[in-house]
Structure 1
Amino acid sequence: MDWKEGHLVKIPKKGDLSKCENYRGITLLSIPGKVFNRVLLNRMKDAVDAQLRDQQAGFRKDRSCTDQIATLRIIVEQSVEWNSSLYINFIDYEKAFDSVDRRTLWKLLRHYGVPEKIVNIIRNSYDGLQCKVVHGGQLTDAFQVRTGVRQGCLLSPFLFLLVVDWIMKTSTSEGKHGIQWTAQNQLDDLDFADDLALLSRTHEQMQMKTASVAAVSASVGLSIHKGKTKVLKFKAENSNPITLDGETLEDVESFTYLGSIIDEQGGSDADVKARIGKARVAFLQLKNIWNSKQLSTNIKVRIFNTNVKAVLLYGAETWRTTTTTIKKVQVFINSCLRKILNIHWPDTISNSLLWERTNQLPAEEEIRKRRWKWIGHTLRKSSNCITRQALTWNPEGKRKRGRPKNTLRRIIEADMKRMNYNWKELERIAQDRVGWRMLVSDLCSFTRSNRCK
């Protein structure tokens, strides 16, 4: 295969598959070309990554979806508790990777300090780029691709990050339309690649910010999808909708952000319910595995952990757990494990023996362990890291009278009280990974012994 030729494979998405927009195209490129692009990427990424905004977590080392989900959950929960208004606009671009203007892209590479020689190499690799669509085992005639970055290319995520970073840096340069984050700075947005969550305190601020982001995006070839862009409001005094180019953006009561549901109550109940539903589907799809006589129980449990439990506990580090939600998760896990072990009524087995035979931790302990493992990673980051700052952030406002709701922050602080540590002491311990693992193990052992009493 030629370096400038790609074979486009259609990946079906949701919706009517007779429509082209319900397919995602992934381009198969030549292996030597990918190796060469990896060399180019290694020469650029460290120098450029240092210039990217901390709000962007996509395709970056030591950053994850969990960081962004946890930060947004804390912002929502604390805003609800402190009666502080909050507007979140979840921006969705139309065909983002395929729409980037390449002439602007070459300028941005130079703007971020990429050497001219490397810019010319990348530009030359895009000149005369052709694709053929794979359909029914056959290849179509070649056609030229003149816009966007290549789907499937190692350089594409890096190139796209530069575009999004410049858009957000330009559209929020005034720093007046976000939420107060520190004494000196405001937080305007949380980003994961092209998944943007704009943050503001008032309707006017969000309206101005949305228009600014749309205008700057248009200058680089990107268009906001008005039908998929949603607005979530908390304690909003102004009921007027946010508009874009005269069209109203839909207000929603909940939104799935990076796979986790964020709702207007600031809780995790809806997300837990959705996770159990997705995990149940994943479990039923592997029915032949669980009924197999050839596979050992150990192999089945390993498949359960990687294909079902991973789906169930995605984002669990950020959950505002309650006795009820823990029970729902545990009941589902126990039901799956009993089916794997082929234990059906009237046969019975105690939960403790079930967990022992399948080498499982109780759900509460598993979630706590995941949460504190993530906190350890967060505390090892720079003090300027937004996710780290979120652990102790409070908005301006006043609490309501009465007993406050449980929050992720309160769950973390309750564990800290059990360990008799404050944030400063935890930051010191987190620098030693072995010491941190021992601390998490001791915390789980302590809660386990209390549960058994």
Structure 2
Amino acid sequence: MPNELKKSYLSYRTGVANNTKNPKKCNDYRTISLMSHVLKLFLKVIHNRIYSKCESTLSCTQFGFRSGLGTRDALFGYQVLIQRCLDMNRDLFVCFVDYEKAFDNVRHGKMMEILQRIGLDYKGCCFIKNLYWKQSANIRVNSKHSSYIEIQRGVRQGCILSPLLFNLYADAIFSEALDNCHHGIAINGKLLNNLRCADDTILIAESLEGLQKKSKYMTISRTPELFTQYIYLNNQTLERVSKIRYLGTVIDEKGDHSIEIRCRIEQARNAFSKLKKVLCDKRLNLQVRTRIARCYVFSVLLYGVESWTLTETMSKKLEAFEMWVYRRMLKISWTDRIRNTTVLDRMQENKEVLKTVKKRKLEYFGHVLRNCKKYELLQLIIQGKVAGRRRPGRRRTSWLKNLRQWFGQSTKSLFRSAASQLK
């Protein structure tokens, strides 16, 4: 391969990484590799040739960087798994693993071993090896360039092949680490001990002893005594958390969405505040402002909605926020004592947030059921048998119970309708 194609520019973003506390720290910046357009064309051809082979070897527990899969699938699988375990009175211990600079720590030699192990053809292996062998890059900051340096490890941020190569690398790590692991949740006899979305990883066990080499962990149980027990690694106590942000959402040890919905509403309020001058400007057409609100405000509110399980209280909070947005757009104060029906008439709108939630959940349910190969794991979590015995008393509101209540159908009827695309 020509040396010019092995060169790239590491361009730092003008702003620092999100949530950074110290803009003077280099670790808070992220680089993007800018490469030759000719190289990108070659990479696209290679990607199309090796994708099917690589995809067939990946575990079904990986939802990141894969066609048709994403964060909503990982969130849905995790939330429904929690509900099913709590419903069957099963203890669940989950550990959240946070990789440090995941893309930058891929070893090239090990990566080539993995490609050969999965049976990738000789030409594909040679091309990828030449791509990463003695590659060089210089750093560009505000149009200034440094001298070229040799890159000895890591996959490029911005390269077409990088997500695929990282998935293979991470999958090999977990295959080796969990090879003889017998801890996890058994569903229909199949052991589930991890869920992954790119480098965001959750390790699952039904006992404290089942968690090994973890970062932060959460206890999900109806037994209070388990919350006072701890996990140790190298004589150090791992941090136990009651809530954590995972894939942009807040999940807690209770397994409900009350905290997440409060956070979503707060973030949507902030999004509205940033666009307040536009959304409240009466010189703009009301329909245009409404479309802007749907695009930039309600989209923030409804992120990850497919995995939500709503109670009556949560539903009222969502509707209350929707009316809050409309009143601000019309500059109507609560002290004006104008009813919500009047506000909706002036907006020429109906209450749409809950309708959108119901529609997206039902569509996603049907999407999962109709794609048996792609969503094999999610179908197992929804329909598979979890060992245990239900406690006496009223059952918790579950994801499927929401659909049964909203559409007035039995579970069997819902499965039949969703599988046949009937609404």
- Using the size of structure 2 for normalisation, the TM-score is 0.90
Is 2:194 the counterpart of 1:189? yes
Contact kept? 2:230, 2:240, Cα under 8 Å: yes
Q: Displacement, 1:90?
A: 0.7
Task: Name the CA distance, whole Å, in 2 between partners of 1:59 and 1:182.
Answer: 27
SS at match of 1:8: strand
Q: Displacement, 1:287?
A: 2.2
Task: Name the CA distance, whole Å, in 2 between partners of 1:39 and 1:355.
Answer: 55
The correspondence for 2:209, drawn from 204, 208, 219, is 204
- Residues 245-284 of structure 1 mapped to structure 2, 5 A cutoff: 245-284=234-273
- Which residue does 1:217 correspond to in 2? none
Instruction: Go from structure 1 to structure 2 and tell me whether the alpha carbon gap of 1:101 and 1:84 turns closer, same or farther (over 3 Å shift).
Output: same
Task: Name the CA distance, whole Å, in 2 between partners of 1:366 and 1:172.
Answer: 40
- Which residue does 2:302 correspond to in 1? 313
Task: Name the CA distance, whole Å, in 1 between partners of 2:182 and 2:131.
Answer: 41
Instruction: Go from structure 1 to structure 2 and tell me whether the alpha carbon gap of 1:64 and 1:22 turns closer, same or farther (over 3 Å shift).
Output: same
RMSD: 2.5
Is 2:386 the counterpart of 1:395? yes
Instruction: Go from structure 1 to structure 2 and tell me whether the alpha carbon gap of 1:86 and 1:277 turns closer, same or farther (over 3 Å shift).
Output: same
- Which residue does 1:223 correspond to in 2? none
Instruction: Go from structure 1 to structure 2 and tell me whether the alpha carbon gap of 1:50 and 1:360 turns closer, same or farther (over 3 Å shift).
Output: farther
Task: Name the CA distance, whole Å, in 2 between partners of 1:334 and 1:369.
Answer: 20
Kindly provide the amino acid, as one letter, of the partner of residue 138 in structure 1.
K
- Residues 223-242 of structure 1 mapped to structure 2, 5 A cutoff: 229-235=215-221, 239-242=228-231
The correspondence for 1:110, drawn from 99, 112, 116, is 116
Gap regions ≥5 residues in structure 2: none
Q: Displacement, 1:84?
A: 0.8
SS at match of 2:57: coil
Q: Displacement, 1:131?
A: 2.5
> Higher mean Cα deviation, 244-253 or 194-203?
244-253
Identity over aligned pairs, percent: 28
- Which residue does 1:32 correspond to in 2? 38
Task: Name the CA distance, whole Å, in 1 between partners of 2:378 and 2:210.
Answer: 23
Contact kept? 2:94, 2:203, Cα under 8 Å: yes
- Which residue does 2:355 correspond to in 1? 365
- Which residue does 1:82 correspond to in 2? 88
The correspondence for 2:141, drawn from 135, 138, 148, is 135
Q: Displacement, 1:159?
A: 0.5
SS at match of 2:47: helix
Deviations 1:124-164 (Å, cap 9, x if unpaired)? 12223222333234223332221100011111101000011
Q: Displacement, 1:426?
A: 3.0
Is 2:408 the counterpart of 1:422? no
The correspondence for 1:7, drawn from 10, 28, 51, is 10
- Which residue does 1:296 correspond to in 2? 285
Q: Displacement, 1:191?
A: 0.6
- Which residue does 1:330 correspond to in 2? 319
Contact kept? 1:78, 1:394, Cα under 8 Å: no
SS at match of 1:324: helix
Deviations 1:90-129 (Å, cap 9, x if unpaired)? 1111111001111101111122222121111122122232
> Higher mean Cα deviation, 169-178 or 99-108?
169-178
SS at match of 1:95: coil
- Residues 48-197 of structure 1 mapped to structure 2, 5 A cutoff: 48-174=54-180, 176-183=182-189, 185-197=190-202
Contact kept? 1:177, 1:205, Cα under 8 Å: yes
Task: Name the CA distance, whole Å, in 2 between partners of 1:424 and 1:295.
Answer: 45
Is 2:376 the counterpart of 1:385? yes
Contact kept? 2:16, 2:30, Cα under 8 Å: yes
Task: Name the CA distance, whole Å, in 2 between partners of 1:352 and 1:149.
Answer: 57
Contact kept? 1:326, 1:363, Cα under 8 Å: no
Q: Displacement, 1:281?
A: 1.2
Task: Name the CA distance, whole Å, in 1 between partners of 2:69 and 2:391.
Answer: 35
Kindly provide the amino acid, as one letter, of the partner of residue 270 in structure 2.
V
> Higher mean Cα deviation, 274-283 or 234-243?
234-243
Q: Displacement, 1:368?
A: 0.7
Contact kept? 1:188, 1:198, Cα under 8 Å: yes
Q: Displacement, 1:170?
A: 2.1
Q: Displacement, 1:323?
A: 1.7
- Residues 435-450 of structure 1 mapped to structure 2, 5 A cutoff: 436=422, 439=423
Q: Displacement, 1:420?
A: 8.0
Kindly provide the amino acid, as one letter, of the partner of residue 372 in structure 1.
L
Contact kept? 1:234, 1:264, Cα under 8 Å: yes
Instruction: Go from structure 1 to structure 2 and tell me whether the alpha carbon gap of 1:285 and 1:232 turns closer, same or farther (over 3 Å shift).
Output: same
SS at match of 2:30: strand
Kindly provide the amino acid, as one letter, of the partner of residue 182 in structure 2.
K
Task: Name the CA distance, whole Å, in 1 between partners of 2:159 and 2:216.
Answer: 30
Kindly provide the amino acid, as one letter, of the partner of residue 251 in structure 1.
R
Deviations 1:221-255 (Å, cap 9, x if unpaired)? xxxxx7xx310112266544223344322110012
Task: Name the CA distance, whole Å, in 1 between partners of 2:76 and 2:111.
Answer: 32
Number of paired residues? 412
Contact kept? 2:404, 2:414, Cα under 8 Å: no
Task: Name the CA distance, whole Å, in 2 between partners of 1:133 and 1:29.
Answer: 12
Deviations 1:251-286 (Å, cap 9, x if unpaired)? 100122211222111110000011111111111112
- Using the size of structure 1 for normalisation, the TM-score is 0.84
Contact kept? 2:231, 2:238, Cα under 8 Å: yes
